């Protein structure tokens, strides 16, 4: 068995080995190489202590990225490579990092502290694969299993429970039964994990090739209770609607898998119908209706994303997609389409259409997309004509209005919106003199 190691990484290994130290590539890069996947980074572990590493790489730039835990970063050809001393971790009182570490000369002891068997392998060209926990067998069996006792691994760092789901989702693996039971038993440990760390694992799950498998696993393993319990309400929620042959959760999962692997789109797909259970009503026709569920879904979306510490920009973008996902235009009057573009925003248009199409795919067949494509065509046509669509496209601005006596404040914004509505109906009105006369006449 041979792993193709990049030239610079091999040089680092050689330098360590030629100065009397053991050195291996370790963890994810070994796993990905064995799966014929391109590693995102190359981590190295060594018997050399941090100060010894600095002596070995005296002619390279080294950064003390984690001296306490035995890690330095070596720069080679403008690329940083983390190199860590073999270590044994002490107790984890904060459920995240060890209180102390003890350096060791034993690679097996170092590998024994790692999370999953598929991540507990090391390799160099001299010795080949170091695999004390049968990681290769689990890799071939497509199983995620903890190293040693799963309860101990999760109590060391509760985030490992989400990492188990993420690896299973990314790789198309199953979670070992004992590991899965331990996740359920230890799920409350997520309370100790920062929302930022949870968010980052959730993001990685969402952009996998089959995100529904990860979200479904979070629900099955009861982790969803501590991330977004609101989504649990969608499970087994019968829509009682002829346009749907799935419950709300199953429909959401179908939409999630049908949309592009862009984080904002996956988040919008995840949240687009989360408000349905709150807005459900059976009509006189015995059909289920969800009036204004798009508004409730957008509200819940904002609440969850704020809780998970997403940026304001991300929250606004995703919640707006959710809010407008029920947009329907039977009439394609130019003024109506302009108002639609103005409401949604040019930067969100393409993503909204992708969400509308995925929403249809997740519903009951046969799928009809004609109305979506017609609206999309009209939007693209108007954009190509560069017609005024927003306040910033008007031939006047707030300063112009103040010069004719309109007081600064709400009145300016109100007047600009009135002028915009007029221009959306007739773009020939977008002339500075005409708009100023309209603004004056409005005040008389």
Cα–Cα dist 350/383, whole Å: 12
Task: Express each pLDDT in 341-357 by its tens digit.
Answer: 999 999 999 999 999 99
Task: Kindly report the pTM of this predicted structure.
Answer: 0.89
Neighbours of 37 (CB within 10 A): 13
> Is the dihedral angle over the CA atoms 341, 346, 352, 356 positive or is it negative?
positive
Q: Is 172 left (phi over 0), alpha (psi -120 to 50) or beta?
A: left
When mean pLDDT is compared across 15-29, 118-132, 274-288, 305-319, the lowest value belongs to 274-288
The tens digit of pLDDT for each residue in 21-76 reads 999 999 999 999 999 999 999 999 999 999 899 899 988 888 887 777 789 999 99
Instruction: Give yes or no for residue 216 having a pLDDT over 80.
Output: yes
The helix/strand/coil state of 350 is helix
Distance CA 398, CA 97 (A): 54
For residues 212-223, average pLDDT: 98
Specify which residues 338 forms β-bridges with.
none
**Per-residue exposure over 75-92, b if at least 16 CB sit within 10 Å of its own CB, e if not:** ebeeeebbbbbbbebeee
Give the C-alpha separation, 59 to 308, whole Å: 43
Q: Give the CA radius of gyration of the chain.
A: 28
Phi and psi at 175, nearest 5°, equal: -90, 130
In our burial notation (b when 16+ CB lie closer than 10 A, e otherwise), range 178-189 reads ebbebbeebbeb
* Confidence check: pLDDT of 203 > 80: yes
Average pLDDT over residues 241-250: 90
Residue 149 reports pLDDT greater than 60: yes
444, pLDDT greater than 60: no
Q: Assign 89 a pLDDT band (cuts: 50, 70, 90).
A: confident
Measured distance between the N- and C-terminal CA atoms of the chain, rounded to whole angstroms? 86
Q: What is the model's pLDDT at position 408?
A: 87
Q: What is the mean pLDDT of residues 344-372?
A: 94
Residues 394 and 430 sit within 8 Å (Cβ to Cβ):
yes
């Amino acid at each position: 068995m041979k792993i193709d190691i990049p030239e610079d990484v091999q040089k680092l290994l050689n330098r360590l080995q030629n100065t009397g130290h053991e050195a291996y590539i370790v963890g994810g890069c070994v796993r990905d190489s064995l799966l014929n996947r391109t590693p995102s980074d190359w981590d190295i572990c060594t018997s050399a202590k941090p100060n010894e590493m600095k002596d070995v790489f005296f002619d390279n730039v080294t950064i003390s990225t984690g001296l306490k835990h035995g890690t330095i970063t070596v720069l080679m050809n403008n690329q940083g490579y983390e190199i860590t001393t073999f270590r044994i971790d002490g107790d984890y009182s904060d459920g995240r990092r060890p209180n102390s570490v003890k350096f060791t000369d034993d690679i097996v002891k170092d590998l024994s502290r790692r999370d999953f068997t598929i991540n507990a392998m090391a390799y160099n060209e001299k010795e080949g694969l170091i695999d004390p926990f049968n990681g290769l067998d689990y890799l071939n069996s497509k199983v995620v299993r903890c190293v040693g006792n799963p309860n101990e691994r999760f109590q060391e760092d509760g985030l490992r429970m989400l990492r188990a789901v993420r690896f299973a989702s990314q790789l198309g693996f199953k979670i070992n039964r004992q590991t899965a039971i331990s996740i359920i038993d230890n799920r409350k440990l997520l309370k100790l994990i920062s929302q930022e760390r949870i968010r980052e694992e959730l993001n990685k799950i969402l952009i996998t090739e089959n995100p529904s498998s990860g979200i479904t696993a979070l629900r099955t393993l009861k982790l969803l209770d501590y991330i977004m319990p609101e989504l649990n309400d969608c499970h087994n929620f019968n829509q009682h609607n002829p346009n749907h042959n799935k419950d709300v959760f199953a429909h959401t999962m179908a939409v999630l898998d049908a949309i592009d692997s862009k984080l904002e789109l996956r988040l919008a797909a995840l949240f687009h119908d989360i408000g349905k259970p709150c807005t459900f009503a059976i009509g006189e026709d015995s059909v289920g209706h969800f009036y204004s569920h798009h508004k409730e879904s957008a509200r819940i979306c904002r609440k969850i994303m704020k809780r998970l510490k997403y940026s304001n920009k991300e929250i606004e973008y995703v919640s707006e997609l959710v809010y407008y996902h029920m947009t329907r235009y039977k009439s394609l009057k130019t003024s109506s389409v302009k108002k639609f573009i103005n409401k949604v925003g040019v930067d969100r248009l393409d993503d909204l259409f992708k969400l509308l199409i995925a929403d249809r795919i997740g519903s009951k067949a046969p799928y009809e997309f004609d109305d979506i494509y017609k609206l999309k065509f009209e939007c693209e046509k108007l954009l190509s004509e560069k017609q005024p669509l927003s306040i910033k496209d008007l031939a006047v601005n707030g300063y112009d209005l103040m010069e004719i006596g309109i007081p600064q404040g709400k009145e300016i914004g109100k007047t600009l919106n009135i002028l915009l509505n007029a221009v959306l109906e007739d773009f020939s009105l977008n002339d500075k003199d005409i708009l100023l006369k309209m603004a004056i006449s409005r005040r008389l």
